[in-house]
């Protein structure tokens, strides 16, 4: 194992899949000459050339649609959005075209396309650049959605997404690009199945269900609670929003009997709402307390730093929720 950044892990995944399959190509704003807005595509233009690493105009609807068409005729495009907030400009392509083509063509056209880029709030980017889009896209049949929180998950999930014969959204986090973690050597074939959650930390008193940038928050809170000798918290990283690993969720909650869901999105119609429904439907009698949720506040994201901190999930909010379900 070696320690690399989240950004490096994504870059390795792209390079390996480009080298493995000549039908794979990367397209998006500044992915080639500039090496990517967040340097995820660093060095790929020099290695694979301009026919496979393609800079586009500022037209998400245009290049996303081009990607859908390319996928229909047998290529495997990777479409980078500079931020998934900009994917809303391509909503018609991502929601109306990519996931529906297989069914509407009577099975004649697969759309093996990967949409990837940073998703969710970062730091002082304002309301129009801070959307967490997972609940919007999770509502659409035919789309798969993964939310890697570690370098290892970023590499393994992206490689799996590129090989999938369906549209997959890889929702990365700008705040995690520089984070480091252990990843297998480059000569190891790392593939992580979609729809497979991972227990990041074992505990006995409460399950904290999280994903994306709420994973390091949950782990930090769990460690703090344990050090204070108060509560043993289990941390379950969903890794994929859709498909959802319900089996892993129910297994953990059946052990701890208490749940807090922490999500980077707003709570109304959110991912946490679906998880709460599934838990109470399947194992209501095993719960020792009502399920708690920690999420963004229901307001447009402020630019002001202190207001932004007040809107986002925090350690204090999560600790308060855990203490409430544990009656401490």
Specify the 3-state DSSP secondary structure of 159: helix
Backbone angles phi, psi at 80, to 5 degrees: -95, 125
Residue 229 has which token pair?
């000798």
Instruction: Tell me how far apart the alpha carbons of residues 3 and 106 are, in angstroms, rounded to a whole number.
Output: 46
Widest CA span in the chain: 60
> DSSP 3-state helix, strand, coil percentages of the chain (rounded to 5)?
40, 20, 40
Q: Judge whether 16 counts as a catalytic residue.
A: no
Residue 71 and residue 25 in contact, taking contact as beta carbons nearer than 8 Å: no
Residue 44 and residue 26 in contact, taking contact as beta carbons nearer than 8 Å: yes
Q: Tell me the C-alpha to C-alpha distance, in Å, between residue 249 and each of 36, 149, 312.
A: 36, 17, 24
Specify the 3-state DSSP secondary structure of 36: coil
Select which of 17, 129, 131, 172 is catalytic: 129
Nearest in space to 94 (alpha carbons), one of 75, 122, 117, 73:
117
Q: Judge whether 60 counts as a catalytic residue.
A: yes
Residue 8 has which token pair?
């490096």
Select which of 12, 60, 174, 263 is catalytic: 60
| Catalytic center residues | 60, 129
């Amino acid at each position: 194992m070696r320690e690399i950044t989240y950004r490096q892990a994504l870059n390795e995944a792209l390079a390996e899949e480009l080298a493995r399959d000549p039908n794979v190509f990367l397209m998006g704003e500044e992915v080639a000459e500039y090496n990517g807005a967040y340097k995820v595509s660093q060095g790929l233009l020099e290695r694979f050339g301009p026919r496979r690493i393609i800079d586009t105009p500022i037209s998400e609807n245009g290049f996303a649609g081009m990607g859908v068409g390319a996928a229909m005729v047998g290529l495997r495009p990777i479409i980078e959005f500079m931020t998934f907030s900009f994917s809303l400009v391509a909503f018609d392509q991502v929601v109306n075209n990519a996931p529906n083509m297989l069914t509407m063509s009577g099975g004649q056209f697969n759309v093996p396309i990967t949409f990837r880029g940073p998703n969710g709030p970062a730091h002082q980017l304002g309301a129009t650049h801070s959307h967490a889009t997972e609940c919007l896209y999770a509502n659409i049949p035919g789309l798969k959605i993964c939310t890697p929180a570690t370098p290892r998950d970023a590499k393994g999930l992206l490689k799996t997404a590129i090989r999938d014969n369906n549209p997959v959204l890889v929702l990365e986090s700008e705040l995690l690009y520089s984070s480091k973690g252990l990843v297998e050597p480059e000569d190891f074939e790392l593939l992580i199945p979609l729809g497979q959650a991972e227990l990041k930390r074992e505990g006995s008193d409460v399950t904290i269900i999280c994903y994306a940038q709420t994973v390091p928050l949950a782990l930090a809170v769990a460690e703090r609670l344990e050090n204070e000798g108060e509560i043993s918290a289990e941390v379950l990283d969903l890794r994929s929003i859709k498909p959802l690993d319900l089996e892993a969720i129910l297994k953990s909650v059946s052990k701890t009997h208490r749940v807090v869901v922490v999500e980077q999105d707003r709570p109304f119609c959110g991912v946490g709402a679906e998880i709460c429904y599934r838990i109470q439907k399947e194992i209501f009698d095993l719960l020792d307390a009502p399920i708690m949720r920690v999420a963004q506040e229901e307001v447009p994201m402020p630019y002001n730093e202190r207001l932004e901190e007040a809107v986002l999930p925090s350690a204090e909010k999560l600790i308060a929720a855990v203490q409430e379900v544990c009656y401490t």
